[in-house]
Structure 1
Amino acid sequence: MGKIKNLSLRKTIVLYMIISLIISFYLSALIMRIATTVQNDIWWKYVDLEEYFEMAEGDGRRYLPDVPRPHSYEMKEFDYHVSEICDFLQTFTVLIVSVAGSIIAVFLFYKHKLKCPIEELELASQQVGRNNLDFHITYENEDEMGRLCKEFERMRGQLAENNQQLWKMLEEEKALRAAIA
């Protein structure tokens, strides 16, 4: 888990996208299979079975042809709409599910890899803007964001040290002026 947590941002987004696409394609195949089954079940209601099996046995064929699609005027309105929805799902499921999966992958990537360090850096920037250098950045991952946070922490430490030196110089200058006066 530590290796995955410390993957670079590029490798992490690629990993999220690959997993997302694999899941999307399997889910698409399942949805398309269900849509085909539902559509065939509807179409079977409108097939003349005698004519169908006569046609299947004719010409010496040893297989059954696809279920013939009934005309829209032959079907009940509900069956027609369900059949059309199945057509839509068979045509566009891969696209819709892949896009949705990619969007989910991007949101998960942001949530797990970017949100926390960005919030830490934002809060740290606000503290530095208020001249409060008495805080620490606690983001510990070793990815690009972790390195950025460590550099920001180093910069904060250097600013704090510079401020202490400046205050020390001002105190010495005050003491020197008091001694001269």
Structure 2
Amino acid sequence: MWKLLHKLKDAVIYDADREFYAKVFPDSVDSKDLLRLRKMDHGDLPSVLKIEALNYEFPWSEGVFKDCFRAMNYVNWVCEAPEDVIVGYCIISVMAGEAHIMNISVNPDFQRQGAGRKMMEHVIEYARPRAEKMFLEVRPSNPNAMALYRKLGFQEIGIRKGYYPAKGGREDAIMFALDLVPML
């Protein structure tokens, strides 16, 4: 029974009461609370590719995203605002006791409104029963993302030299890790 409930929760995270109260009492609900996450499907790719292109000089191709659907250990989500507007997406890989955030991105029009935090909190909770550690890389030129990761408990663990393509060469990646198993 519990497994079925967790699968249902993984399929869609949505609170109809919050949406109702937001319509009736608009100031009573934080906009972050109206965001919902659901599994990404192929029909989401045009919106996802648009967000990817808006945020990155060297965006992932449609083929890379399609490969993420085929990979058995990848899980792909979109974050939606009311009216089914996709405002962000995240992709993680979970295997061998480790979770790795492969890609997370928020439409620039919705950044700094809680979508990134909501997706991060979701993937952390998804990974917690499935992995002992979570890893991610981030560009040093993205201080807002680094601040969010630190607030969520991630620790800087190293640098990957020349990890990201960049104009005129390559950019390093700062590596972060989060322990998913509580210390006793």
TM-score, normalised via structure 1 length: 0.25
TM-score, reference length from structure 2: 0.24
Q: Say which one has the larger Rg.
A: 1
Higher RCO (C-alpha 8 Å, min separation 6): 1
The structure with the greater share of residues assigned to strand is 2
